């Protein structure tokens, strides 16, 4: 996949650019942004457009207001932070498509930035309503999508809009597409995938497709218990997706036939209760206690996974190896992050919890690539067509 970036568009001066950003930042009870990473990541494209004299109209969503105006999900705190970061005034339009907005659009000067209120206040957004998408497209001359993290969603301001207006990748999006295209089309080998986390149903389809592409899959986190159960191990009271055990058996069989190694944990940190203070024992997969809960991968598994990661030329990681929010059960997740940080080949972490773990452990700068998209990067690896990407212009 080779998509045109906004840097390939030569006539930005005076052009009204509708810029889709992912400003879906965590905001606490007092209305304060607790992590502004997503706003910081948006700055290169915004600054690029300002410097080239474009008139920048930013669209984003925040949270799940479910199609209703809800001040709790207003983008106002984001606009305030953006003002500080850009050190310039920003127009904030709360009344989309109003007379006031039309007037503001007419009087915008080159280099001005306007942010529209949360697009999910409109029920049409998540329905990918055509008429709504057309109305959004009419606000500008060209569209620029820099919200990779949401590009797997078929929503009006991500997918629908691209049918009505010339559409380009933002600078961040272009980098994401480049990295994942290379990963799919021409990975250096051995290619190791590391999967964890709890949502087995989200990731299990991916494993089937990954078996076609990678040399080895390391499975940790709650997900591993569904696979260990499929292999006939007792996993006590660990989190298991019962409905997926049969499918897990099929996947293990498929991997065997394709000679792809699936590595499951050989030992675990096992607690009696699901708590951050819970005492734990190290248990092997063969001697898992009936009343135990697997909270993290054990030391032997850490050594096995770290060794396999150190030998990889390409690795993709999505999902923590344990209940990493509790410090005593974060060792497995930290070890994977460390092993990847020490490998100077193409080590890629896909969004969400694993990306924030990499950042919190201080390894971010040692990685080849930290993606901003969890679900979106999984969808790309799966070989799915991303609704936000299909209609973006190809590079000439
Ligand atoms: P996901 O959204 O699928 O990436 O899942 C992330 C969540 O998986 C995190 O909140 C972890 O606490 C959770 N998790 C990882 N390992 C385990 C485990 N062994 N038991 C229960 N939850 C887990």
Q: pLDDT of the chain along its 396 residues, tens only?
A: 789 999 999 999 999 999 999 999 999 888 899 889 899 999 999 999 999 999 999 999 999 999 999 999 999 999 999 999 999 999 999 999 999 999 999 999 999 999 999 999 999 999 999 999 999 999 999 999 999 999 999 999 999 999 999 999 999 999 999 999 999 888 999 999 999 999 888 788 889 988 999 999 999 999 999 999 999 999 999 999 999 999 999 999 999 999 999 999 999 999 999 999 999 999 999 999 999 999 999 999 999 999 999 999 999 999 999 999 999 999 999 999 999 999 999 999 997 889 989 999 999 999 999 999 888 998 888 888 899 999 999 988
* Sheet architecture: strand order including 280-284: 280-284, 267-271, 293-297
Domain count, the chain: 2
CA 144 / ligand 1 centre spacing (Å): 34
Which ligand 1 atom is the nearest neighbour of the CA of 224? 19
Given ligand 1 and candidates 200, 222, 223, which is best to mutate, with the most ligand atoms within 8 Å of its CB? Answer: 222
- Final residue before a domain boundary, out of 123, 157, 172: 172
269 and 334 belong to one structural domain: yes
130 and 251 belong to one structural domain: no
Ligand 1 contacts CB of residue 221 (under 6 A): yes
Assigned domain for 137 exists: yes
How far, in Å, CA of 94 to CA of 117, rounded? 5
149 and 204 belong to one structural domain: no
- Final residue before a domain boundary, out of 118, 143, 172: 172
53 and 141 belong to one structural domain: yes
Beta bridge partners of 263: 218
Assigned domain for 389 exists: no
Residues near 108 by beta carbon (within 8 Å), at least 6 away in sequence: 16, 55, 91, 114
Assigned domain for 394 exists: no
Q: The CATH number of the domain where 205 resides is what?
A: 3.40.50.1260
Assigned domain for 393 exists: no
Which ligand 1 atom is the nearest neighbour of the CA of 354? 4
Which ligand 1 atom is the nearest neighbour of the CA of 326? 12
Q: Is 100 helix (H, G, I), strand (E, B) or coil?
A: helix
Is-contact 139 165, C-beta < 8 A? no
Give the 3-state secondary structure of 308-369: HHHCCCEEEEECCCCCCCCHHHCHHHHHHHHHHHHCCCEEEEECHHHHHHHHHCCCHHHCCE
141 and 239 belong to one structural domain: no
Is-contact 294 288, C-beta < 8 A? yes
What was the pLDDT predicted at 327? 96
Which ligand 1 atom is the nearest neighbour of the CA of 200? 3
Assigned domain for 388 exists: no
Torsion angles phi and psi, residue 269, rounded to 5: -95, 115
230 and 378 belong to one structural domain: yes
What was the pLDDT predicted at 199? 86
Which ligand 1 atom is the nearest neighbour of the CA of 352? 4
CA 15 / ligand 1 centre spacing (Å): 45
19 and 106 belong to one structural domain: yes
Assigned domain for 396 exists: no
Residue nearest to atom 12 of ligand 1 (CA): 323
The domain containing residue 301 runs over which residues? 179-382
Ligand 1 contacts CB of residue 265 (under 6 A): no
Which ligand 1 atom is the nearest neighbour of the CA of 202? 3
Helix runs in 74-230, H state only? 76-86, 99-107, 123-127, 130-137, 171-185, 200-210, 223-230
91 and 210 belong to one structural domain: no
Helix runs in 187-317, H state only? 200-210, 223-230, 245-258, 299-310
How far, in Å, CA of 5 to CA of 251, rounded? 38
131 and 257 belong to one structural domain: no
Ligand 1 contacts CB of residue 336 (under 6 A): no
Beta bridge partners of 168: 144
- Cα dihedral 192/41/60/197 (nearest 10): 30
In this structure, what token pair is assigned to residue 194? 């590391």
User: Which 8-state DSSP code applies to residue 59?
Assistant: E
- Final residue before a domain boundary, out of 143, 172, 201: 172
How far, in Å, CA of 194 to CA of 305, rounded? 9
CA 74 / ligand 1 centre spacing (Å): 30
Ligand 1 contacts CB of residue 4 (under 6 A): no
280 and 317 belong to one structural domain: yes
Ligand 1 contacts CB of residue 199 (under 6 A): yes
Assigned domain for 387 exists: no
114 and 191 belong to one structural domain: no
Given ligand 1 and candidates 196, 200, 221, which is best to mutate, with the most ligand atoms within 8 Å of its CB? Answer: 221
Could you check whether the bond before residue 159 is cis, i.e. omega within 30 degrees of 0?
Answer: no
196 and 151 belong to one structural domain: no
- HSE value, Cβ hemisphere, 13 Å, CA-based, for 69: 4
């Amino acid at each position: 996949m080779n998509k045109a970036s906004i840097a390939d568009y030569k006539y930005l001066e005076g052009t009204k650019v509708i810029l889709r950003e992912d400003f879906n930042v965590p905001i606490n009870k007092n209305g304060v942004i607790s992590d502004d990473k997503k706003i910081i990541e948006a700055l290169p494209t915004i600054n690029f457009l300002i410097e080239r004299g474009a008139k920048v109209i930013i669209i984003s969503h925040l949270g799940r207001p479910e199609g209703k105006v809800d001040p709790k999900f207003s983008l106002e705190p984001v606009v305030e932070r953006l003002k500080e970061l850009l050190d310039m005034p920003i127009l904030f339009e709360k009344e989309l498509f109003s007379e006031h907005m039309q007037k503001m659009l007419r009087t915008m000067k080159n280099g001005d930035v306007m942010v529209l209120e949360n697009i999910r206040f409109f029920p049409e957004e998540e329905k990918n309503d055509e008429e709504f998408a057309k109305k959004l497209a009419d606000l500008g001359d060209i569209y620029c999508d820099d919200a990779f993290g949401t590009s797997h969603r078929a929503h009006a301001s991500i997918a629908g809009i691209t049918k009505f207006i010339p559409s380009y990748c933002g600078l961040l999006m272009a980098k994401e597409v480049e990295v994942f295209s290379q990963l799919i089309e021409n990975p250096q080998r051995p290619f190791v995938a590391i999967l964890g986390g709890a949502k087995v149903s989200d990731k299990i389809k991916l494993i089937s497709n990954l078996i076609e592409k990678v040399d080895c899959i390391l499975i940790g986190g709650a997900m591993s218990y569904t696979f260990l159960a499929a292999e006939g191990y007792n996993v006590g009271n660990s989190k298991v997706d019962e409905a997926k055990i049969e499918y897990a058996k099929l996947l293990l069989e498929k991997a065997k036939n394709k000679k792809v190694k699936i590595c499951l944990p050989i030992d675990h940190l096992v607690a009696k209760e699901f708590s951050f203070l819970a005492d734990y024992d190290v248990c092997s997969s063969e001697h898992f206690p009936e009343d135990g809960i697997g909270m993290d991968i054990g030391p032997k598994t850490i050594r096995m996974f770290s060794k396999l990661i150190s030998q990889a030329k390409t690795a993709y990681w999505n999902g923590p190896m344990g209940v990493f929010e509790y410090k005593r059960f974060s060792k497995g997740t930290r070890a994977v992050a460390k092993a990847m940080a020490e490998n100077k080949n193409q080590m890629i972490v896909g969004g969400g919890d694993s990306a924030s773990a990499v950042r919190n452990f201080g390894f971010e700068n040692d990685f080849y690539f930290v993606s901003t998209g969890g679900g979106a990067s999984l969808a790309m690896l799966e070989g799915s067509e991303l609704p936000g990407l299909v209609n973006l212009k190809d590079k000439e």
